Amino acid sequence: MSSPAAAAARSRLVEDLVGSRYVQDPRVREAFLRVPRELFVPEPSRRDAYVDVPLPIGWGQTISAPSMIAIMLEEATVRSGERVLEVGSGSGYHAALLSCLAGPANVVTIERIPDLAARARQNLAQAGFEAVEVVVGDGSLGHPSRAPYDIILATAGAPRIPEPWAAQLAPAGRIVAPVGPRLHEQILLVARRRPDGTLEVREGTPCAFVPLVGAKAWPKPD
Ligand code: SAM
């Protein structure tokens, strides 16, 4: 349950994100106001849930800073009814925001660390987003069983856009993903599927994400 103090802190953070123009779309603003970030952040970082910083969520992973999430949601321009695949469930927070935009049953999120996927499922249920499907697997291969997707949004950095993602996009589907030659030093790419199946790719903002580890991404860490 979200406390009045948490709701007030959330509201202040959202107005800051609007003031700094990270959030421009009123639907994205509404989504940030609806999702209680404090329920997705484990102790002892919970007191910082409404500070605009990334926070540890266990298993060496992080929940991204709200401003970074806002940039990705603005780039994705998710419409109601669109089918969304998030790669990198982490805490489940970003998936909850996506479900506010696309509709609860339209979002599937994939996580490679089974314990983290279980935690994301738990967090989503506690926050009232149990319709979001959390699956365990290598998201660098996409998630063929629910394809095609209107949007594939990745929250871990790949060396390049994995080919299975392009193959699993619906016509005019979009990919929003951090990509770069170096770990933690990426550019947010925004790609759109052309009618011939190739991708039109635009470079967005520089960013720093944990690595996407998988068959079509970075090799497993030792
Ligand atoms: N979106 C998350 C949230 O809202 O808390 C934050 C995600 S965190 C920055 C990146 C996540 O990607 C980590 O949980 C990591 O385990 C996961 N990941 C890395 N490689 C993956 C892969 N191949 N498939 C699925 N998840 C992966």
What is the distance in A from the centroid of ligand 1 to the CA of 196? 30
Protein residue whose Cα sits closest to atom 14 of ligand 1: 90
Which is it for strands 199-207 and 185-193: parallel, antiparallel or unpaired? antiparallel
The tens place of each residue's pLDDT in the chain, 222 residues long, gives 478 999 999 999 999 999 999 999 999 999 999 999 999 999 989 999 999 999 999 999 999 999 999 999 999 999 999 999 999 999 999 999 999 999 989 999 999 999 999 999 999 999 999 999 999 999 999 999 999 999 999 999 999 999 999 999 999 999 999 999 877 789 999 999 999 989 999 999 999 999 999 999 999 765
Q: Which atom of ligand 1 is nearest to the CA of 141?
A: 23
CA 184 from centre of chain: 16
Task: Give the separation between CA 77 and CA 96, rounded to whole angstroms.
Answer: 15
DSSP label of 134:
E
Does the active-site annotation cover 64? yes
Pairing mode of beta strands 84-87, 107-111: parallel
Task: State the Cα torsion 53-57-58-64 to the nearest 10°.
Answer: -50
pTM of the model as a whole: 0.97
Write down the catalytic residue from 64, 89, 91, 140: 64
For the chain, list the domains and their CATH numbers. 4-207 (3.40.50.150)
